[in-house]
């Protein structure tokens, strides 16, 4: 675990684990379910990244540190909610929505940068398409697994400028790495992704969509 991106990835794991735990508790899952959703969100994207890049076994199986951090984070959040239950007021629900938004955005930003960096290290002579695709997969994969397991339509398909934020963040990393240290490029890429997600949510930026047809009688 001497990777220079360790501290940044640690933040991403905690953020995504929290997002998974919040959704699991909202869905009424027990402690096991909370841990599974938190774990899937935190390390799912990294597993998909390693599979695509041919890294076998995936990093999370060779070094369970991040998996244990995700389980610990999910368990701690569950314990706080379990032993200090409060009535779900509108103010509290809004707070949870904000926490979920920004933990999800931070996880997206961190793992987008991690994905593009890992792809470039694994295939330094590859095309530009490879690191960008791997970045998108790493950044959004954990959230997709989390949402599917929670019975929700994945954010990447419906939320304001979700995958595009990861795409722009990956491109920023590719540009920055040409004249900045890798750690600095990672921080800049992560910050750009998080900022775009936050702005998109605040200003309700969306791609055009066709309204869903009403259900048949």
DSSP H helical ranges for 123-179: 129-149, 155-158, 163-176
Q: Where does the pLDDT of residue 158 fall: very low under 50, low under 70, confident under 90, or very high at 90 and above?
A: confident
Residues 22-30: what's their mean pLDDT? 94
Q: Taking 80 as the threshold, does the pLDDT of residue 194 lie above it?
A: yes
How far apart are alpha carbons 158 and 189 in whole angstroms?
Answer: 23
Distances (CA, A) of 66 to 6, 10, 13: 10, 7, 7
Considering only 51-60, 119-128, 139-148, 153-162, which range has the smallest mean pLDDT? Answer: 153-162
pTM surpassing 0.95?
no
Helices (DSSP H) in the chain: which residue ranges?
6-26, 31-53, 59-62, 65-83, 90-122, 129-149, 155-158, 163-176, 182-203
What lies within 8 Å, CB to CB, of 69 at 6+ separation is 10, 13, 14, 17, 42
Question: DSSP character for 10?
Answer: H
Asked if 35 and 75 touch (Cβ cutoff 8 Å), the reply is yes
pLDDT in tens, 37-48: 999 999 999 999
100-116 tens-digit pLDDT: 888 889 999 999 999 99
Task: Give the separation between CA 154 and CA 163, rounded to whole angstroms.
Answer: 11
Q: Judge whether residue 211 has pLDDT over 80.
A: no
| Cis amide prior to 57 (ω within 30 degrees) | yes
- The total of other beta-carbon atoms located within 10 Å of residue 193's CB is 30
pLDDT for the residue numbered 1: 41
Structure tokens at 93: 């629900």
Tell me, what's the pLDDT at 3? 54
Model confidence at 32, pLDDT cuts 50, 70, 90, reads very high
């Amino acid at each position: 675990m001497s990777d220079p991106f360790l501290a940044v990835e640690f933040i991403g794991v905690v953020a995504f684990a929290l997002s998974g735990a919040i959704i699991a508790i909202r869905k009424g899952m027990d402690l096991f379910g909370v841990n599974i959703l938190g774990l899937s969100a935190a390390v799912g994207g990294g597993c998909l990244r390693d599979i695509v890049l041919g890294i076998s076994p995936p990093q999370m199986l060779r070094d369970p540190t991040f998996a244990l951090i995700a389980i610990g984070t999910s368990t701690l959040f569950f314990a706080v909610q379990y032993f200090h239950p409060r009535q779900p007021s509108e103010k509290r629900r809004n707070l949870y929505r904000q926490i979920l938004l920004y933990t999800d955005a931070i996880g997206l930003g961190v793992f987008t940068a991690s994905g593009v960096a890992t792809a470039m290290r694994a295939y330094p002579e590859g095309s530009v398409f490879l690191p960008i695709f791997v970045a998108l997969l790493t950044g959004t994969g954990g959230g997709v697994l989390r949402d599917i397991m929670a019975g929700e339509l994945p954010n990447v398909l419906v939320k304001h400028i979700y995958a595009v934020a990861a795409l722009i963040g990956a491109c920023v990393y590719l540009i920055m790495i040409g004249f900045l240290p890798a750690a600095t490029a990672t921080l800049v890429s992560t910050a750009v992704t998080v900022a775009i997600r936050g702005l998109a949510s605040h200003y309700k930026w969306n791609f055009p969509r066709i309204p869903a047809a009403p259900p048949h009688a």
